[in-house]
Amino acid sequence: MKFFIDTANLSQIKEANDLGILDGVTTNPSLMAKEGIKGESAVFQHYKTICELVNGDISAEVLSTDFEGMVEEGKKLAAIHPNIVVKVPMIKEGVKALKWFTDNGIKTNCTLVFSAGQAILAAKAGATYVSPFIGRIDDSGWDGMLLIKQIANIYQLQGFKTQILAASIRNANHIIAAAEAGAHVCTCPLDSILGLLKHPLTDIGLAKFLEDAKKFA
């Protein structure tokens, strides 16, 4: 399973990248706004900086909601760097745009996916990635991980090549469950990635080894 970090914060991206296990980055307009980035040239420069930091797929989201606007924006985003993946919302115009990008060799991430039907449409349009939002589904009283399992099953049965990118991850357990459910990628906040490291027996065991090492040092 590939690991992406879900942030536009450069120091968090660097910290995750320094672990040596990072395969890419996802951003969205809310995450960009959180970093205080304003104006098209600043936004484009920020994507470029992320691409230069991380050697992997970097999702950059279109803001238009009509087909022509999405295509124009997506072409400009894709021109920033070969690793840019154009992120397109799961709406009717978005499906048309996904197909256009597929036909024109531009990688895509279909975002805001909350059902198996939407995931089938994304795959039919040739999306590189489909992003079911696990945490937001859990927040609304449903089980996000069941959706990952359902999509994984459908994609396998039908031979779809679209990769399942588990998004809206809230904790380390979500990452483990997404891996078990068949997600190809997990995009996670830094805290959730670092949460995978934690186990009290590791800390206790290491403290004991270091204490005992003093006896023969």
Kindly identify the residues of this chain, within the stretch 92-121, that bind ligand E4P according to CB under 6 A: 111
- Work out how close the CB of 80 gets to ligand E4P at its nearest, in angstroms, rounded to a whole number: 18
- Work out how close the CB of 112 gets to ligand E4P at its nearest, in angstroms, rounded to a whole number: 8
Residues ≥6 apart with Cβ < 8 Å to 148: 132, 134, 164, 166, 177, 178, 181, 182, 183
When asked if residue 184 is in the footprint of ligand E4P (CB under 6 A), the reply is no
Nearest to 83 by CA among 133, 112, 33, 49: 49
Listed ranges 63-71, 76-84, 122-130, 131-139: which one lies at the site for ligand E4P (CB under 6 A): 131-139
**Residues in binding contact with ligand E4P, number by CB under 6 A:** 11
Answer yes or no: are the C-beta atoms of 158 and 140 closer than 8 Å.
Answer: no
Site string for ligand E4P, 60-99 (x = CB under 6 A): ----------------------------------------
Token pair 């990769």: residue: 163
Enumerate the active-site residues. Answer: 87
Q: What phi and psi values does residue 114 have, to the nearest 5 degrees?
A: -130, 5
Pick 80 or 131: Cβ nearer ligand E4P: 131
Listed ranges 38-46, 130-138, 178-186, 192-200: which one lies at the site for ligand E4P (CB under 6 A): 130-138
Residues ≥6 apart with Cβ < 8 Å to 66: 93
Site string for ligand E4P, 135-174 (x = CB under 6 A): xx------------------------------xx------
Answer yes or no: are the C-beta atoms of 60 and 84 closer than 8 Å.
Answer: yes
Of the candidate residues 13, 22, 24, 28, the single one contacting ligand E4P (CB under 6 A)? 28
Q: What phi and psi values does residue 24 have, to the nearest 5 degrees?
A: 170, 180
What is the identity of the amino acid at 18? D
Q: What is the dihedral of CA 130, 181, 136, 174, to 10 degrees?
A: -120
Pick 95 or 185: Cβ nearer ligand E4P: 185
Chain contacts with ligand E4P (rule: CB under 6 A): 6, 26, 28, 111, 131, 133, 135-136, 167-168, 187
